[in-house]
Amino acid sequence: MQEADVVKPKKNIGAGRQCTICNQRRAALKRPKTLEQICRECFYVVFEEEIHRVIVDNQLFKPGERIAIGASGGKDSTVLAYVLSELNRRHNYELDLFLLSVDEGITGYRDDSLETVKRNEIQYGLPLKVVSYKELYGWTMDEIVKMIGLKNNCTFCGVFRRQALDRGAALLKVDKLATGHNADDIAETVLLNILRGDIARLSRCTSITTGEDGPIPRCKPFKYTYEKEIVMYAYFKRLDYFSTECIYSPNAYRGFAREFIKDLERIRPSAILDIIKSGEDFRISTSTKMPEQGTCERCGYISSQKWCKACILLEGLNRGLPKLGIGRSRGITTDRSNDMKQSNGIKNIQSKQCGTLDF
């Protein structure tokens, strides 16, 4: 054999490196957030302890509170349910925890993910409440997409889901709603609000607790937790979660911000936390006119307009004009007499109202 044909074995760089925290066990992963090489056991400890510190430092919960966990069956909400259950027992938070899911009516996606949530209900011993778009609004997302198409469908889903979670939380009579929004999600939202020029949302999107002046406050225990570390935790713990992406989301505007964030993270891992810090430090000029929060004249939900966004979207769907609520909603009539009219054979909007919230 000629010398050129000899294949020299490559050195396994990093093989056998010790955990930088305990210096006893072999490192199993490099933390995306800090780039530390640590073992699984230490990863579990620091991951859970960081979330515990966020909860304590920000006083997210009070003893005796009823907390609903927004559960989709995905990695974020599944890890949140597991970790909150563990921390609640370990640190004696004295919380009553519940799982709250929304069935948007997406065949081949949500029906499958809800099965995962139902298994989580048994695995974690947490009561589950499911509310559906069909029951609340008279429409499923499959039906909405047939009418509106693949463009702008995420607008409907996002608006309806937000209100559906609040209504489910009201039925459970909880004090707060905990969601699995992670650091990546919040950084994406900061960028989206800058790109859209949405000053009102930009001023509050980095808040760890929102809606304190609304029906149900929402909190984000994963505000500083990287998505990659949530995935690693779920993988190493062998948690039961649903990993398929929504079939209607590939064209979502948020996807472009998500890809940009991932590119930044590859160059500099701290970019995610830096964007969040920038969002926290934004100051809105005193001369900037901000929307005044009130209540929807039709359903009673919080709104800065006469009608909330959900009612406007429903008006368009039920009148056969699905694009009515897309973009700016100025000029949309809220005259009661219009509610009684039929339009192109489409069922009257009064047949399925957005619904008055009972708080």
Q: Is 185 annotated as a binding residue?
A: yes
Closest CA to 302 of 144, 125, 170, 198: 170
Q: Is 70 annotated as a binding residue?
A: yes
How many CB atoms neighbour CB 110 within 10 A? Answer: 25
CB-CB contact of 74 with 242 (8 Å): yes
Q: Is 316 annotated as a binding residue?
A: no
Bridge partner list, 99: 69, 128
CB-CB contact of 75 with 243 (8 Å): yes
Cα Rg of the chain, angstroms: 23
Euclidean distance between CA atoms 355 and 352, whole angstroms: 8
Q: Which two tokens stand for residue 187?
A: 């950084």
Give the amino acid at 157.
C
Q: Is 320 annotated as a binding residue?
A: no
| Exposure letters 304-337 (e unless 16+ CB within 10 A, then b) | ebbbbbbbbbbbbbbbeebebbeeebeebeeeee
Q: Is 71 annotated as a binding residue?
A: yes
Q: Is 166 annotated as a binding residue?
A: no
Q: Which two tokens stand for residue 207?
A: 């808040």
Give the amino acid at 161.
R
Alpha-helix runs per DSSP H in 149-296:
153-172, 183-196, 199-202, 227-236, 254-267, 271-281
Pick out the residues of the known binding site for ATP.
70-72, 76, 102, 180, 185
Pick out the residues of the known binding site.
70-72, 76, 102, 180, 185
